[in-house]
Structures are given as structure tokens and as C-alpha cells.
RNA sequence: GACCCCGUCGUCUAGCCUGGCCCAGGACGCGACCCUUUCAAGGUCGAGAUCGCGGGUUCGAAUCCCGCCGGGGUCACCA
């Protein structure tokens, strides 16, 4: 039996969780859950100037919101690089003792000059190896890599990718000031955390051969690698803020259900035949890293919205109420204390909104009287004739034996018939009165949900408004 | 510039490994129609890809080979 799968997501807390990072996290999580392995969260905060605790909280929040739970990681200590310096130091010592690493005291100015020369000659800069055999006792610690041959990265998504050693150089493991570099930390962390599969962004593919050489120098087994393509913006360059909303936080705030975002992100680059909609369980069951596309994918907010609406439309009512409530409160309104009634209101709204923000916006009349009437509609509907019709509707509704959707509909249909009108003539009038707008959920449902008393208040107010303008 | 990755409808993709079932399928978006008390939702139909380009191999290529072009990523004592 193969050793248990262990993967990790290692964000750098220099900002909020980006959708690209979220997708990488998702693929790791799916891989771990599919293989019944462990998902580790590790914080790469060696860049102290840009890393903040607030960002760590934000990233943790975003991951939890997405439902990507980790088996190991914060708040348990030992999963932040800044807590692991002793481990890096120890590994550096080992490399030095075995002769696989050496000190270098080349001044930065010299390196810069050499870099400049290499650039002019149109070559990739490589450290000259000047200090390789000087046996220095201090300075920056460099990894001694083989001069000949090549290192092959057997990528699970890309297949074998070969890098000639002549293109690589003796890179720095530990800086002169004693701090370890990112590439070194990653190797040591992945090794000491027994990571079996490194699933990360494509932008790390070029670093991989250097890291593999470090594993080998340390005499550790090399993990499997899978480099996921980047998420692109409309112009096909790496998705960034200038392409619009990119943080998970922003999508949450705009009222997109976490399940919809997860579904969208999963489908962006990964596929299972023609299937577009997946439950969590299906995702876990069907996910296979081999079906992850190797090409970059443009982020399509419109398709995300389609999924968002689909989830709003189909999710459980109680769950929807739970998700919608904070959005109702966020605009200063209050959902009715009667939960089934609140859910019934949402049921009339859910297929009309792409996000929870939109849903609340379109349904605010359920929680407050319309403050104004749509100007154009008021002009054509709130007339003398409109006032007369509203009066008739009010009278019939007052006398109706009950105030159910069916009863209200009977009143409207009968009146329509008697007046020789079309249903739309009365419906739009009532709609404007009850909601202030010309577009809303079915008006009989709206009236029933708003209740007899409040409905009549709104109809009377509209009649008064009509009489005023007349 | 060097190295590496990528290249199927506007977008996400299936198909590519194991050539023919593909003059290329699905989804989003778009258009039309149907349904209809408005708006949505739903249903039906439709437009949309000479499979980046050019050579080869083959009876036959989106699928195999070569070259080119285009896009992206990486080249730090950043992460």
C-alpha cells in the first residue's frame, strides 16, 4: 500500500486570498479528500515586511468560508515559517557538512555586474561559482549543483519537463544575514511535513528543478509535482486587481454562495466530461489531477454568476434564509421573525437574482414600504383611471373572505373580466403600488406575503398618489 | 534576450495518449420563438471553431513528426 497522500497549501500572507490561490487550495483539498489523505495549511511568512497577521486571518477566513478545511495547520503552532528557523538552520548545517553547500562572499555589486553582462549577451544569469572551492567559513550559503546533466520534473499535469543543469546555477539557500530563502524553506518544509504531492501554481515550474536538486542533496525522496495553470484576465495575462474583483472576500461580499464559487473554480481548468454542476461529494469523488488542463484559463465572471444563480435557485430554503439574512441586515432592513414567511419571500426572489446582494435589492419591498414609485410607470399608471381601478381592487380585497394567493387571483381575474381589461392592466397597477416597481415576483404571491393589512395600506397610498397627480 | 509552459467556437471545455464513430460535442454568453400578470426562470430552435500557421507521415490527422508564429511564466542575498 502506498504511503498516505499528504498535500499542502502554502499561501504567503501578503494580501487577501486571490481566486487563483483559492483554486490551488481547492485542487489540493480535493486531491487530499479524494485520496483520503491529509491537507496541510502552511503560512509562508518569511517576508516579514509584507506579511501581516490581518492577512493570515483573512486567508483563514476565506478558506473556511469556502469550506476547505485543513487537517494540520494554524492555529496549531509550527505551521508558520517564522516559527521554523531552527529547522532550516539545521538542514543548512547538514548541507554544509556534507559539502553539498558552500559559503560565498561575492559582493552584491559584483553579482549585479555579472548579471548585467549576462543580460547583454542574451543569456540567463547564472552565478559563476567563484566561491565553490574557496572553503569560506561565512557568507551566503549556496547549493552546489551538478555541472553536467539535466533534471527532469515529472509533472502530473505537464508530463516530463527537462531542465539542463547548464541553465541552472548554485542558488542561495541562506542569506548572509542568516535568513533562509523561499526556495530552501519550501523544500525543508515539504520534506519535514512529509508532503507527497506538491500541487501549486505554474509560476513555480521553473523553480522546481532547483528544488529537486536540493532534495537530492539532502538525500530525501522527491515528492510528486503538479503545476496548475494560472488564471488569466480578459487580456490573457495573469489575473490581477486591474482585471476587477479577484479576492475571495470580494465574491463573498457580492453575495455569491461559496458552493457556486467552488463549483466554478473547480470547472476552471478541470473537467469531467461535459458535466458542469457538481456537489461537494461529487467533486471529491470525481476529482483526478490528470484531468486538470495544462493551459491557462480566462476568468469568466458571467459564468460564475450563472452558477451563483443556479445555486440560489436550487439550494434548501432554510439554508438560503441563513445566507440571505446578513445581506438583508447589511442594508439596514430586517427579515420577518416568522421564518417560514421569510423563506417563502426568498422563494419568490431566488430565481430572479444572480447574487444575494441582487436578491435583497430586488426584494426590499418585502421588508419596507416602497419609498417612491418608478417615475415612468407612475406617469402612465397613476392616473384618474388608475385611482378608480385601485379603488375597486381595494374594495374587493377588503371584502375577500381570505387573503391567499388563490383568493387574491380570483379577485383580480373577476374584476378584470368585469371591467373588460387584461390581467396585466390591473397587475401592473398593483405591482407598482406594492413594490414601487414594474418588475417583481408574481404580484399575487407578493400581496399574500406582504399580508392583507400592509397590502391595503400600500394600495391606498398609491391611490392617493394617483389622485394627487390627477 | 535565455530557459520553460501553453495554443479546439468570444469564454470554460470534451475529443488528442490508444489516428477514421468529429466537415468537431457540451456549457456560459448571444439571437429567435414558445410559455406568461411584469421581470425572471423554464422549454425549443439558431448563429458561432477552415481544431494558431506551414510542411510532412498516412488510404485517412484536431489527434503522430518537424519547423514557424503568437501568448504566458521564470530568470533576485523577493515570495
Range of the domain at A170: 84-228
A92 and A67 in a common domain: no
- Answer whether residue A305 is part of any domain: no
Q: Is the CB of A421 under 7 A from strand B?
A: no
Region A283-298 average pLDDT = 94
pLDDT for A46 beyond 90 = no
Q: Give, as ranges, the nucleotides of chain B with any atom within 7 Å of a protein CB.
A: 1-8, 10-15, 25-29, 37-42, 71-79
Return phi, psi of residue A443, to 5°: -65, -30
- Answer whether residue A310 is part of any domain: no
Q: Is the CB of A295 under 7 A from strand B?
A: yes
* Number of compact structural domains in chain A: 4
A95 and A195 in a common domain: yes
Sign of CA dihedral A288, A294, A296, A297: negative
Task: Quote the cell numbers at residue A306.
Answer: 450563472
- Answer whether residue A306 is part of any domain: no
Distance A464 CA to B37 C1' (A): 23
A154 and A52 in a common domain: no
A143 and A73 in a common domain: no
* Whether the Cβ atoms of residue A291 and residue A271 lie closer than 8 Å to each other: yes
The domain boundary, picked from A211, A228, A245, lies at: A228
Q: Is the CB of A441 under 7 A from strand B?
A: yes
Q: Is the CB of A175 under 7 A from strand B?
A: yes
Nucleotide nearest to A237 (CA to C1'): B72
DSSP state of A242: G
- Answer whether residue A1 is part of any domain: no
A176 and A107 in a common domain: yes
For a pLDDT cut of 70, what percent of chain A falls above it? 99
| Residue-wise pLDDT tens digits, A80-127 | 999 999 999 999 999 999 999 999 999 999 999 988 888 888 777 889
A187 and A117 in a common domain: yes
* pLDDT score for A47: 78
A262 and A201 in a common domain: no
Nucleotide nearest to A175 (CA to C1'): B77
DSSP state of A365: G
**Strand intervals (E) in A331-391:** none
Residue of least CA–C1' distance to B72: A237
- Answer whether residue A309 is part of any domain: no
Beta-carbon contacts of residue A128 (< 8 Å; ≥ 6 apart): A114
| Residue-wise pLDDT tens digits, A403-460 | 999 999 999 999 999 999 999 999 999 999 999 999 999 999 999 999 999 999 999 9
End-to-end CA gap in chain A: 85
Residue of least CA–C1' distance to B75: A124
A64 and A103 in a common domain: no
pLDDT for A469 beyond 70 = yes
Classify residue A172 as left (phi > 0), alpha (psi -120 to 50) or beta: beta
pLDDT for A2 beyond 90 = no
Nucleotide nearest to A182 (CA to C1'): B79
- Reduced to 3 states, what is the DSSP secondary structure of residue A56? helix
| Residue-wise pLDDT tens digits, A201-215 | 999 999 999 999 999
If we measure between CA atoms, which residue out of A35, A42, A38, A91 comes closest to residue A63? A42
- Reduced to 3 states, what is the DSSP secondary structure of residue A298? strand
Q: Is A290 a catalytic residue?
A: no
* Whether the Cβ atoms of residue A283 and residue A219 lie closer than 8 Å to each other: no
CATH at residue A199 = 3.40.50.620
| Residue-wise pLDDT tens digits, A297-311 | 999 999 999 999 999
- Answer whether residue A307 is part of any domain: no
pTM comes to 0.94
Residues 2-21 of A with CB under 7 A from strand B: 12, 14
A31 and A161 in a common domain: no
How many Å apart are CA A367 and CA A329, to the nearest integer? 10
DSSP state of A255: T
Catalytic option among A241, A303, A313, A422? A241
Long-range contacts of A400-407 (CB under 8 A, 24+ apart): A403/A447, A403/A448, A403/A451, A403/A452, A403/A455, A404/A448, A405/A444, A405/A445, A405/A448
Mean pLDDT, chain A, rounded, equals: 95
A219 and A235 in a common domain: no
Q: What is the ipTM of this complex?
A: 0.95
* pLDDT score for A294: 92
Region A346-358 average pLDDT = 98
Nucleotide nearest to A274 (CA to C1'): B26
* pLDDT score for A243: 86
Beta-carbon contacts of residue A286 (< 8 Å; ≥ 6 apart): A272, A278
Region A358-378 average pLDDT = 96
- The Cβ of residue A3 has, within 10 Å, a number of other Cβ atoms equal to 9
According to DSSP, the residues that pair with A39 across neighbouring strands are A7
* pLDDT score for A347: 98
CATH at residue A334 = 1.10.8.70
Q: Is the CB of A194 under 7 A from strand B?
A: no
pLDDT for A1 beyond 70 = no
A155 and A99 in a common domain: yes
The pLDDT confidence band at residue A470, using thresholds 50, 70 and 90, is low
Region A308-336 average pLDDT = 98
Beta-carbon contacts of residue A328 (< 8 Å; ≥ 6 apart): A334, A335, A360, A367
A186 and A147 in a common domain: yes
Q: Is the CB of A416 under 7 A from strand B?
A: no
Amino acid at each position: 500500500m502506498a504511503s498516505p497522500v499528504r498535500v499542502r497549501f502554502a499561501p504567503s500572507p501578503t494580501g487577501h486570498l486571490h481566486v487563483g490561490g483559492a483554486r490551488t487550495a481547492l485542487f489540493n483539498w480535493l486531491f487530499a479528500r479524494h485520496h483520503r489523505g491529509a491537507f496541510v495549511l502552511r503560512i509562508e511568512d518569511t517576508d516579514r515586511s509584507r506579511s501581516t497577521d490581518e492577512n493570515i486571518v483573512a486567508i483563514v477566513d476565506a478558506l473556511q468560508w469556502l469550506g476547505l478545511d485543513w487537517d494540520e495547520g494554524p492555529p496549531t503552532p509550527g505551521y508558520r515559517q517564522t516559527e521554523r528557523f531552527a529547522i532550516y538552520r539545521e538542514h543548512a548545517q547538514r548541507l554544509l557538512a556534507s559539502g553539498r553547500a558552500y559559503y560565498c562572499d561575492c559582493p552584491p555589486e559584483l553579482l549585479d555586474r555579472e548579471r548585467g553582462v549576462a543580460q547583454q549577451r542574451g543569456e540567463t544569469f547564472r552565478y559563476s561559482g567563484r566561491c565553490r572551492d574557496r572553503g569560506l567559513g561565512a557568507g551566503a550559503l549556496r547549493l552546489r549543483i551538478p555541472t553536467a546533466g539535466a533534471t527532469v520534473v515529472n509533472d502530473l499535469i505537464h508530463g516530463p519537463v527537462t531542465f539542463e543543469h547548464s541553465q541552472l546555477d548554485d542558488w542561495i539557500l541562506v542569506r548572509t544575514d542568516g535568513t533562509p530563502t523561499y526556495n530552501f524553506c519550501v523544500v525543508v518544509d515539504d520534506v519535514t511535513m512529509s508532503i507527497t504531492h506538491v500541487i501549486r501554481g505554474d509560476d513555480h515550474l521553473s523553480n522546481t528543478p532547483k528544488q529537486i536538486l536540493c532534495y537530492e542533496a539532502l538525500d530525501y525522496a522527491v515528492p510528486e509535482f503538479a503545476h496548475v495553470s494560472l488564471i488569466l484576465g480578459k487580456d490573457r495575462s495573469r489575473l490581477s486587481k486591474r482585471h476587477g474583483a479577484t479576492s475571495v472576500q470580494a465574491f463573498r461580499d457580492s453575495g455569491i454562495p461559496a458552493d457556486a464559487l467552488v463549483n466554478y473554480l473547480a470547472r476552471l481548468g478541470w473537467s469531467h466530461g461535459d458535466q458542469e454542476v457538481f456537489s461537494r461529494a461529487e467533486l471529491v469523488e470525481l476529482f483526478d489531477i490528470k484531468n486538470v488542463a495544462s493551459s491557462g484559463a480566462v476568468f469568466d465572471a458571467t459564468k460564475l454568476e450563472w452558477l451563483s444563480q443556479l445555486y440560489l435557485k436550487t439550494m434548501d430554503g432554510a439554508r438560503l434564509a441563513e445566507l440571505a439574512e446578513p445581506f438583508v441586515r447589511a442594508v439596514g432592513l430586517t427579515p420577518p421573525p416568522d421564518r417560514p414567511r421569510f423563506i417563502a419571500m426568498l422563494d419568490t426572489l431566488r430565481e430572479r437574482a444572480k447574487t444575494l446582494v441582487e436578491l435583497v435589492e430586488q426584494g426590499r419591498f418585502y421588508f419596507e414600504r416602497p419609498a417612491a414609485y418608478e417615475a415612468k410607470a407612475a406617469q402612465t399608471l397613476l392616473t384618474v383611471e388608475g385611482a378608480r381601478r385601485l379603488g375597486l381592487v381595494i374594495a374587493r380585497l377588503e371584502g375577500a373572505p381570505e387573503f391567499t394567493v388563490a383568493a387574491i387571483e380570483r379577485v383580480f381575474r373577476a374584476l378584470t373580466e368585469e371591467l373588460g381589461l387584461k390581467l396585466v392592466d390591473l397587475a401592473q397597477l398593483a405591482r407598482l403600488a406594492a413594490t414601487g416597481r414594474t418588475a417583481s415576483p408574481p404580484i399575487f404571491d407578493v400581496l399574500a406575503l406582504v399580508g392583507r393589512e400592509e397590502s391595503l395600506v400600500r394600495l391606498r397610498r398609491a391611490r392617493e398618489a394617483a389622485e394627487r397627480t390627477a
